[in-house]
Amino acid sequence: MRLILATIGNNQTVNFAVEEIVRLIKKMDKNLTLDVRRYLNKDASVKNALWVGLDNSVDQSEDDHIVVKVENGAGIITGSNERSVLIAAYRFMYELGCRYLYPGADGEKIPVRSLDYKALKVSVDETPSYRHRGICIEGSVGYEHVYNTINWLPKVGMNSFYTQFFVPTTFFDRYYKKNYLDENDRDYGNTLTDDDVDAMMGPLNDEISKRGIILHAIGHGWSSAPYGFYATGWTRYYGEISDEMRSSLALYNGKRGFFDNLPISTQLCYSKPNVKEVVTDFAVDYCKKHPNINVLSFSMGDGGRNHCECEECRKKYPSDHYVDMLNMLDEKLEKAGLPTKIKFSVYADTLFAPKQEKLNNSGRFILGFAPIARSYSNSYDEIDLDNLPETAPFVHNKDMLRNTVFLNVAYLKKWQENYSGDALVFDYHLMWDHHTDPGYYNTAKILHRDIVALEKIGLNGVLSCQLLRSSFPTGLLQYVQASTLWNKGRSFEEIKDEYFITAFGEQAKAVDEYLSTISDLACPAFVRGKIIPGYPDFSREEVTTRYTKLKEVVKNFTAEFIEKYESTSIEWQYLKVHAVLVTLFANIYIARYNGDEEKVTEFSNQFREFVKQSQPIIENVCDDMYLCDDVLGKFLDRHHPDIEDDGKPIFYEY
């Protein structure tokens, strides 16, 4: 069979879409003969061609809209912009049976089958449920991990990537330093420089551009970079500070200096007009020099509760000073003729809505709601907008209670009283919290419910602040996120069934039930600890019984399924490694709740060592650094070994 692929125009994203159809369809049927052509415009005289590109049949827009109308191997794959054409190309192949379960080559599942003209029949005309569908770099990453994520985004209908910092060195350094600290590694003693990371970001930005992905950038460092302190991580500085800069820093506890020696976290004296001028001029100049940035994430200092205490600054809320700068930045961008969008953060101190100021040009801005302190034991879909809790009164440089979705949305609603522009949630389901859930199952359900409910709370999508390697033991979380952002009408059952059937075939139901049982027995709300709302107060006996049962479930599943299928696919190998780690996880909690700290240390060491040994297998799907730090540190530390007479542990709140 011969297939004519006719490219419309010479856009790099459309050309890439055609290349991807060629690659995937030839994997599906190697006997297919392809005839690839390029035309300036769609030509009605060309017979039996499958056209790919913008043909003016869909209204052009920055928002995505895909159309695939193919019958007998001829027709059109198009969209509202070039990125939409690429998404439509992947959707065409999806309808033929391709699945893209998680980032990386192993996550791409291409069925081998014979194709004929009759089989090449696809009809799709869709717009996604939400405008913003993106991922933000986090965790520990190497070049390939970032590339894998960028490459995966349009395959599953995602459209945005956020790089953070002027150079995102901190994320790469976390990954590469294990080589530089290993005496047996050829790179022992080296260091990763900002220039090294910048050199990697060059080709990665090319990959973003090739796919037409919306690039979000910076976020951190706006209070220090204009004065020469470029933020590439949370690095302390103990050197001299110029008089010019010191006079611009916030007055805090009677002095002006870097808060906790962290330039990135230090606020400025925003009531001084020259401070706002310096920062906004710097931002405009940066936009001029980096036209590839579509959305500039513009924030105050990356630390709450160290705002300027001078008399003038205290006359306004931090968010009032913030809005002043945002309006100034908008005016300067407008004057410079720059279309760059600005994302501002409703986060920490700026959760308190401004009292005096208001954004003048909402069309320039995207509100980024960042509920970093929320609990994932509840979902946005539980919120009653008519009965939100009372928000705390603003107290300068004092934190407020904000550890539930209900409280966070109550603060958001105050912002929305005077802002009706574009908005997204910058959420953290896959940053730390997924490590409270060894099966990923219950967290995936919360994530699905949250995304479905976003429209209800006035948000138009997600920019997920997450570990890029979040597909262990499965990629269910990321798959649910992408699928629901595209179509919030798809049920969790439908999405997870598709995932498990693709990954595990006839054993899909068994794996489904296994991971669901692991999640239920481990109980993420319990692992989060008592300091998190919704904590179930398990006794020592219940912890021991529940986690002993967890080990039995893993043992039985390993004997019945993993040992039988481990050589058949990488997904089964992931489950094999995972089974060992879940057993150690259970042993650690049983030991802690029975007061045996020697065993806690022994099992924790075994956990770390097994993760290290398993890296050749799980490298691309598991952030080993964060897995160990979260499971053995962040969450375990909330469970202390002191046992009261009634068998319940004593907890210490931080």
* Domain annotation covers residue 244: no
Residue 366, domain member (yes or no): yes
287 and 405 assigned to the same domain: yes
Q: What is the CATH number of the domain that holds 62?
A: 3.30.379.10
| pLDDT over 60 at 648, yes or no | no
Structural domain includes residue 265: no
On whether residue 258 sits in a domain, the answer given is no
Q: Where are the alpha helices (DSSP H) in 115-221?
A: 143-152, 169-180, 194-210
Show Cβ contacts of residue 654 under 8 Å, excluding neighbours closer than 6 positions: 531
**Secondary structure class of 108 (helix, strand, coil):** strand
Range of the domain at 517: 504-638
The per-residue pLDDT for 239 is 93
Helix (H) or strand (E) holding 252: strand 251-252
Count other C-beta atoms under 10 Å from residue 290's C-beta: 15
Confidence of residue 642 (pLDDT cuts 50, 70, 90): low
- For 555-580, the pLDDT digits (tens) are 999 999 999 999 999 999 999 999 99
**Tens digits of residue pLDDT in 570-617:** 999 999 999 999 999 999 999 999 999 999 999 999 999 999 999 999
Under a CB-based contact definition with an 8 Å cutoff, are residues 468 and 501 in contact?
A: no
**How confident is the model over 475-505, as pLDDT tens digits?**
999 999 999 999 999 999 999 999 999 999 9
Whether 111 and 119 have beta carbons less than 8 Å apart is answered as no
534 Cα distance to chain centroid: 24
455 and 478 in a common domain: yes
Give every CB contact of residue 215 below 8 A, 6+ residues apart in sequence. 160, 161, 162, 163, 205, 208, 209, 292, 293, 294, 295
SS3 184: coil
Q: Are residues 409 and 529 in the same domain?
A: no
Residue 570 placed within a domain: yes
For residues 187 and 69, state if they share a domain: no
434 and 514 fall within a common domain: no
Between CA 491 and CA 470 the distance in angstroms is 22
CA 93 to chain centre: 25
Torsion of CA 52, 56, 61, 65, to 10 degrees: -50
Main-chain dihedrals φ then ψ at residue 369, nearest 5 degrees: -80, 115
Q: What is the pLDDT of residue 532?
A: 73
Task: Identify residue 106 by its one-letter amino acid code.
Answer: D
Residues 545 and 490 in one domain: no
Q: What is the largest CA-CA distance in the chain?
A: 86
Give the Cβ contact number of residue 168 at 10 Å.
27
One domain for residues 617 and 522 = yes
Pairwise CA distance, residues 654 & 649, whole Å: 16
**424 three-state secondary structure:** strand
Tell whether the torsion through CA atoms of 146, 152, 154 and 156 is positive or negative: negative
Question: Is residue 334 domain-shared with residue 479, that is, in the same domain?
Answer: yes
d(CA 289, CA 470): 33
How many residues comprise the chain?
654
Last residue of a domain, one of 502, 537, 554: 502
**Tens digits of residue pLDDT in 310-355:** 999 999 999 999 999 999 999 999 999 999 999 999 998 999 999 9
For residue 425, the cross-strand partners are 369, 462
Residue 484 and residue 514 share a domain: no
**Which two structure tokens, joined as six digits, stand for 77?**
């794959």
SS3 464: strand
Q: Is residue 260 part of a domain?
A: no
Would the CA dihedral through 165, 259, 366, 448 be positive or negative?
Answer: positive
64 and 188 both lie in a single domain: no
Tell me, yes or no, whether 488 and 518 share the same domain. Answer: no
Q: Of 453, 469, 502, which residue constitutes the final position of a domain?
A: 502
Q: Which long-range contacts (CB under 8 A, 24 or more apart) does 584-588 make?
A: 584/610, 585/438, 585/522, 585/631, 586/522, 586/547, 586/548, 586/550, 586/551, 586/554, 587/547, 587/551, 588/632, 588/636
In-domain check, residue 250: no
Distance of CA 182 to the CA centre of its chain: 30
Q: Are 520 and 494 in the same domain?
A: no
Q: How confident is the model at residue 213 (pLDDT cuts 50, 70, 90)?
A: very high
What order of strands is seen across the sheet that includes strand 2-8?
33-39, 2-8, 49-52, 74-79, 66-71, 122-126
**pLDDT tens digits along 425-454:** 999 999 999 999 999 999 999 999 999 999
How many domains, the chain?
Answer: 3
